[in-house]
Amino acid sequence: MRALGAVTSAKTLSAAAQLLSVSPPAVSQQLQLLEDALGGIPLYERTTTGMRPTEAGREVLTALERVEAALTDCAAAIGALRGMGGGRVSVGVITTAQYFAPFALAAFQRAHPMVELRVLVGNRAEMIAGLEKFNLDVALMGYPPEHFPVERAIIGDHPHVIVAAPDHWLVRRRRIPLAEIARETFLLREPGSGSRALLLGLLSAANLPSGPRTEIGGNEAIKHAAMAGMGIAMVSAHTVAPDVADGRLAILDVEGLPIMRQWFAVRRSERRPLPAAQALWEHLRRSGFRFLPKAPLTKQKRARARTRSSALDSPPADAP
C-alpha cells in the first residue's frame, strides 16, 4: 500500500523507489503483489504525465491513510504507556476562529508544555477534508460535517451579522427588510466557507435571489473591502468586534439578524483519542467559551438572535 502511495505521489517507479529507499523492481513487485491480493484489479495506470491511481487505487489510498493514522496512534499510545509524556496533537482552526483560537491553544500549552501542537488554519472544506482523512485530531469550526461520524462539543455562541462601511446609506436605517439587503453588492468568501454558505442559505430560505457578488478570499480582505465601500458582507461578529468598536465598520440592523450559530470542537467518532488529544478536547469543551471575544451586539439583538428560525440549521447545497 505504501508502494502505491509513493508511486501516486512521485509519478514514476524510480522516484517512488527513492522515496521508499528500495529498488524500482522492488516497488513494481510490491504493486503486483497488491493487485494479486485484490483479485488482479488494476490499481494504477501509466499516462503521459506519469502514473496515476485508478478508481480502485484511490480506494486503496483512502484505506492507506486510515492505516497510517492508526499506526501513528498506536506508536503514540505505546510511548505514553512507557512514560514518555508529551505527545502531539493536530488541530484544525477554521479561519473565522483564528481571532480566539490562539488564546485557547496558548492556555492549553501553558498547562501542558510538553505537548506539541500542529495547527492548520483553513476554510470549512479544508477542515472537513482534514477530519475525513484522519489528519486532524480536533477541529474548531461552525458547521460540523454530517456525511461521516463525528463527535462534537459546543464551545459557545457564534453570532453572524451583516456589516458595511460607516458611511453606507443603510447604516442609519432600522429593521431593514431582507429583500432590500438582497439587492446590495455582497462581498463573499470562496466556495466552501461557512459564512458564504450561511448567507446563501439565508437568502434561499427567504426565496430571494442575491444581488451582485464580489468574491474575495480571506476574512481580513473582506473586512477591508467593506471598509472601502466595495459592498456589504455577512461575517462572524467575533471577527469584526474590534473594527466595529473603532468605528471602521458598522453592523446593519437587518430583520432576522443576527443569526446565532455555535462554535464546535469536532473530532472523528471512531478514532481513539490519545492522552494529549483528549486533554485538548477537555480543555476546549470545558473552557473554550472563556476565550470568545465579546460580540458587538445589543441586548435586543442578542434576544432576536436566539429566537431565529431553525430554517437555516443546515448549510445550503453548495456547502461541502
Burial call 276-309: b when 16+ CB within 10 Å, e when fewer: bbbbbbebbeeebeebbeebbbeeebeebbeebe
The overall average pLDDT reported for the chain is 87
Residues 51, 7: Cα–Cα separation, whole Å: 7
Spatial contact of 217 and 189, defined as CB atoms under 8 Å apart: yes
* CATH of the structural domain 158-260+296-312, one choice from 3.40.50.970, 3.40.190.10, 3.30.70.100, 3.90.550.10: 3.40.190.10
pLDDT of residue 70: 84
Which residue's C-alpha cell is 459592498?
Answer: 231
pLDDT (mean) for 43-71:
90
197 confidence band (pLDDT: 50, 70, 90): confident
At 198-236, the pLDDT tens digits run 888 888 888 988 778 899 988 889 999 999 999 999 998
The C-alpha cell at 105 is 491553544
Determine the CATH number of domain 87-156+262-291: 3.40.190.10
Spatial contact of 249 and 226, defined as CB atoms under 8 Å apart: yes
Does this model's pTM top 0.85? My answer is no
pLDDT (mean) for 295-319:
48
Evaluate whether 87-156+262-291 and 158-260+296-312 have a shared fold.
Answer: yes
Least confidently predicted of 44-48, 88-92, 209-213, 304-308? 304-308
| 138-141 and 87-94 strand pairing | parallel
Residue ranges of domains in the chain: 2-76, 87-156+262-291, 158-260+296-312
Determine the CATH number of domain 2-76: 1.10.10.10
In a 3-state reduction of DSSP, which class is residue 24? helix
Q: Please check the confidence at residue 26 and state whether its pLDDT lies above 70.
A: yes
At 133-175, the pLDDT tens digits run 999 999 999 889 989 999 999 999 999 999 999 999 999 999 9
The C-alpha cell at 199 is 448567507
Q: Please check the confidence at residue 53 and state whether its pLDDT lies above 60.
A: yes
Q: Which helix (H) or strand (E) holds 227?
A: helix 219-227
Residues 16, 137: Cα–Cα separation, whole Å: 29
Q: Please check the confidence at residue 310 and state whether its pLDDT lies above 50.
A: no
DSSP state of 232: B
